[in-house]
Structure 1
Amino acid sequence: MSIVRNRKEYIQAIADECMMMLWIISEIRLDGDGDTFENFRSLLDEGPRATDRSYHFDPLASISHKKVLILKAGTLISSDKCKLLWSQFMVHVDSIVTLVLDVEGKLTRTLGEPVKEFLRSARDNTWATIKMLLVTETIAAASYLQYGLLDLVLDEGAVKELLSRLKNHGRNVVESKAKEEAATISMRMKDRFTKLFNTYLSREQKRKIDVQAIVQSALDECMLMLWVISAIRLDGDGDTIENFRYLLDDGPLAYISREEELILRAGTLISPDKCKLIWYLFMVEVDPIVKPALDAQEAYKWNKRMSGIQIALLALRVATSTLIFVTTGVPVFF
């Protein structure tokens, strides 16, 4: 809704500017007298705006003569003609707004659900796939928009501006979906791990179970989920999953100082500090799921790993609390 509302405000601002143009040229005002712009607006602005799609503009409607707002002397465009021109202009604006809203609505629908599914599936090529989808669907929407604009007689500059807005709209849809998915990543990681862990165990029941391998495979997929959603990578740059793994698995005493190397400066959805915190908390949450399935030797290795995670989590919490306290003077407790 906010995107549409902003667009309506933008269109209305253009309409106001065009109304000012018509007022200025409607009369020669060298003597300093004549109508005011406010009176001129009241003459033209009778009825709903062009952005109200439920209203049908009728350029042939009878023109009322309630007020004589344009001087007879020095008049270039009569009040009747001004109203007719404005009515015709608003019909034109309404047609453009309707077309643009329809095309952008279709682009939103063709991108929204597929992008969500790609982000949730979390593969090495997720962002490359999303970028390909964005480019393909934006080109298709742009072709549809250009075809619809043929009968609306717009100059080349105006068409280019509308196409540019359409391109930005498509990207905004992708970024909005990514932000929504980033907000629920912790819960989805735990759900994915539980499902994968139970599925792998059931498959291995008829043969010797390598629980450690099953755990690592499930952890790898969850780490990939976090990496995919940590930043928007439509421009093809940013960190790799290998560097990201090093960020999360580099031991309890590591201090986060490689942010600029590992996460995109622009497009970051989850900061490196927050990624580590999410990962450590996730490991603590899956610990009760893993432990019962481990034998003595595997349990020893797992407990040693979790001990490091617990120390790292405590260190990260202390560092985060200290940073917030130094910055704001407000103590923070986890």
Structure 2
Amino acid sequence: QKKLLDALSGPVQSILETGERDSWASIRRLYRRETEHIILTFSDSLSEYELDQTTSVEMVLELREHARCTVVKKAREEAGNILIRMKGRFSTVLSHDKDLMPRTWIANEDIHAITREARLAALRLMSVMAAVRLDDKPDKIDRALMVSLLDGGPLCWKRSIEFTSDPLASTTWQEVLRLILCSLWFTRHGVRNKLEHFMFVQVSPQDTLITPVQCKSIWRQFKAETEYPVAQAILMQEAHRRSNNSLPPAWTILVLAILGFNESMFLLR
């Protein structure tokens, strides 16, 4: 069990801290590889003892369960720090460009688009941490969170979907299986059709790390605590624009550079 703890705990934490979309795929590969390796070694050591088959199988199953519990425990610890992780991810994306260079907030920076990109990165991090995914079952937590929480979502969702109830007003992801009344506008034909759309999230309560209603609460707190850096960016951009407007025309600067101050003043007279 100590070997399993050492082989899984640290690497699982490192993977979850990255918050990439394939984080759980990486964790599954790690979990299966390390678990099978240690179980094989353990089974070989059991052969030295005269144990019946039932006892050996039970011990192996116990070891496998311990491996799973190790991963789940570490995931729960990381989920408890999700707000801090989200704010860190938001700050990184907001204040650095794609080349990881600090933003200067000059006039041509689209602060609204950058803010949305930073929030999306934070939201995806929360979707990774919302549930344990060791069984490789598909879910739509990422989609559910984007539709329910992210401002300025896809145009088709914003204009055409009417939710019969709040998709995140639930304590389990299983309850996110709900009927959503969609109103789809077909602009080509000018016809409005209604259809039933199911959003299915296959996550059991046992595998839930952050419930839907907790996600909503965390997101509300996250937005409140990240408004200040956005406001600062807007102020810096406005200050940059004002400083540019206070400069003399470009042709004046060019004349000064070529003729000098005295000659330029003589021409202006």
1:206, CA displacement in angstroms? 9.5
- Superposed, which structure 2 residues align to 1:1-334 within 5 Å? 104-200=1-97, 202-205=101-104, 208-237=108-137, 238-249=139-150, 255=166, 256-257=168-169, 259=173, 260=175, 261=177, 262=201, 264-266=203-205, 267-294=207-234
1:297, CA displacement in angstroms? 11
1:138, CA displacement in angstroms? 0.4
8 Å CA contact retained: 1:115, 1:174: yes
Distance 1:236 1:276, change over 3 A: same
The alignment covers a number of residue pairs equal to 194
1:195, CA displacement in angstroms? 2.8
Secondary structure in 1 matching 2:47: helix
CA distance in 1, matches of 2:221, 2:28: 31
> Hey, which of these two has a bigger chunk of helix by percent?
1
Superposed CA offset, 1:18-53 (max 9, x none): xxxxxxxxxxxxxxxxxxxxxxxxxxxxxxxxxxxx
1:212, CA displacement in angstroms? 2.4
What is the Cα-based RMSD across aligned positions, in Å? 2.7
Instruction: State the one-letter code of the partner of 1:110.
Output: A
- Percent sequence identity is 30
Superposed CA offset, 1:245-304 (max 9, x none): 1132379x9634574234723311111111001001100100011012137999xxxxxx
CA distance in 2, matches of 1:264, 1:188: 23
Instruction: State the one-letter code of the partner of 1:246.
Output: V
Relative to the length of structure 2, the TM-score reads 0.65
Structure 1: unaligned runs, 5 residues or longer: 1-103, 299-334
Partner of 1:56: none
CA distance in 2, matches of 1:212, 1:185: 24
8 Å CA contact retained: 1:239, 1:264: no
Partner of 1:50: none
Secondary structure in 2 matching 1:128: helix
8 Å CA contact retained: 2:16, 2:75: yes
8 Å CA contact retained: 2:28, 2:134: yes
